């Protein structure tokens, strides 16, 4: 939390977040959160979310865990098409049979990195539907301007997530150093041209061939660092592409029936 006079200037953007401000005990003294009927509506149009390596073992049973972009950022795949999340229904409810990503549980709070080696600032997305400026069920601050227990827990979670994000960056750097990542894709059959399937997703993933060819000393290093668990979870998670493809097909069929 910051005071108004010391409020930093924010730059850049963060997936999911729309109107982020540093949490401020003066400016946001009456703010807090309330219960809404569609708590995960903010996630409906996001088909993937950033992932942290410590959660791979929990998430691998629900979603493909893949690496994207030049920085090989790990993400949890929650849909095949931009604008469609297959695990959030039209009423903004999350499929409770599946793991809720840490990135999602952190919302509406987020950490903003400060310049000149200053401590990070905890921020809040004021555009979140459940963030209100009056009559909050769980206020951010008490009558004395001190963070409530709810806010303290949120700040602790943001801090832990930030630490796990650094762990994840180091994990990816080690994968790159070992040259374990390769380009992969997902193809589906093309009824109009059976001999030429259609590529529906491209990503970076750990090469089974390179992984199994690692010498014993490197495998021991991966085991000792905890990377071996994350790599194994990632490889297991790739079986979840079948779930993504199946749900995409079912959604398309339902949309077709609705239009008919």
Total-model pTM: 0.89
Task: Tell me the three-class secondary structure of the chain, residue by residue.
Answer: CECHHHCCCCCCCCCCCCCEEECECCCCCCCEECCCCCCCHHHCCCCEEECCHHHHHHHCCCCCEEEECCCCEEEEECCCCCCCCCCECCCCCECCCCCCCHHHHHCCEEEECCCCCCCCEEEEECCCCCEECCCCCEECECCCCCECHHHHHHHHHHHHHHHHHHHHHHHHHHHHHCCCEEEEEEEECCCCCCCCCEEEEEEEEECHHHHHCCCHHHHHHHHHHCHHHHHHHHHHHHHHHHHHHHHHHHHHHHHHHHHC
pLDDT band at 118 (very low <50, low <70, confident <90, very high): low
Whether 238 contacts 205, CB under 8 Å: yes
- Residue 160, C-beta contacts closer than 8 angstroms, at least 6 positions apart: none
Q: Which is more confident, 236 or 193?
A: 236
For residue 4, pLDDT beyond 60: no
With beta carbons less than 8 A apart as the criterion, state whether 174 and 227 touch.
yes
pLDDT of residue 140: 97
CA atoms within 13 A on the CB side of 68: 13
Structure token pair of residue 201: 């997703």
pLDDT per position as a tens digit, 15-66: 899 999 999 999 999 999 999 999 999 999 999 999 999 999 999 999 999 9
Average confidence score pLDDT of the chain: 90
The more confident residue out of 16 and 10 is: 16
CA distance 42 to 63: 19
Confidence of residue 126 (pLDDT cuts 50, 70, 90): very high
Alpha-carbon span 61 to 219, nearest angstrom: 24
Whether residue 41 contacts residue 85, with contact meaning beta carbons closer than 8 Å, is answered with no
**pLDDT for the residue numbered 204:** 97
Gyration radius (Cα) of the chain, Å? 21
pLDDT tier at 115, thresholds 50, 70, 90: low
Query: CA 181, CA 240: separation in Å to the nearest integer?
Result: 19
pLDDT of 10 reads 43
- Cβ atoms within 10 A of the Cβ of 208, count? 12
What pLDDT was estimated at residue 147? Answer: 96
Out of 107-111, 190-194, 241-245, pick the least confident: 190-194
Q: What is the pLDDT of residue 113?
A: 74
pLDDT of residue 8: 44
Report the candidate in 228, 146, 110 with the shortest Cα–Cα distance to residue 180: 228
On the question of pLDDT at 137 being above 90, the answer is yes
**Percent of the chain with pLDDT strictly greater than 90:** 81
| Number of residues in the chain | 260
pLDDT for residue 3: 47
Whether residue 53 contacts residue 230, with contact meaning beta carbons closer than 8 Å, is answered with yes
Is residue 167 pLDDT above 70, yes or no? yes
Q: Taking 70 as the threshold, does the pLDDT of residue 236 lie above it?
A: yes
Mean pLDDT of 193-204: 85
Token representation of residue 80: 């095949």
pLDDT band, residue 259 (cuts 50/70/90): low
């Amino acid at each position: 939390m910051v005071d108004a006079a010391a409020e930093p200037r924010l730059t850049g953007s963060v997936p999911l977040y729309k109107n982020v401000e540093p949490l401020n005990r003066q400016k946001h003294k009456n703010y807090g959160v309330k219960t809404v009927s569609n708590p995960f509506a903010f996630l409906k149009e996001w088909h993937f979310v950033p992932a942290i390596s410590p959660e791979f073992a929990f998430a691998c049973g629900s979603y493909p865990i893949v690496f994207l972009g030049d920085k090989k950022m790990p993400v949890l795949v929650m849909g095949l098409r931009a604008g469609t999340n297959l695990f959030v229904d039209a009423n903004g409810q999350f499929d409770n049979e599946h793991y809720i990503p840490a990135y999602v549980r952190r919302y509406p709070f987020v950490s903003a990195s400060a310049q000149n080696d200053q401590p990070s600032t905890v921020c809040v997305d004021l555009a979140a539907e459940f963030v209100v400026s009056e009559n909050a069920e769980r206020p951010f601050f008490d009558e004395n301007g001190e963070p409530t227990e709810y806010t303290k827990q949120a700040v602790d979670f943001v801090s832990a997530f930030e630490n796990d994000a650094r762990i994840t960056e180091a994990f990816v750097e080690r994968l790159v150093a070992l040259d374990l990542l390769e380009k992969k894709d997902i193809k589906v059959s093309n009824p109009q041209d059976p001999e030429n399937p259609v590529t529906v997703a491209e990503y970076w993933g750990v090469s089974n061939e390179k992984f199994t060819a690692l010498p014993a000393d490197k495998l021991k290093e991966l085991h000792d660092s905890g990377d071996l668990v994350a790599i194994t979870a990632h490889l297991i998670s790739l079986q979840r592409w079948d779930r993504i493809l199946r749900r995409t097909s079912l959604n398309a069929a339902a949309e077709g029936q609705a239009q008919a």
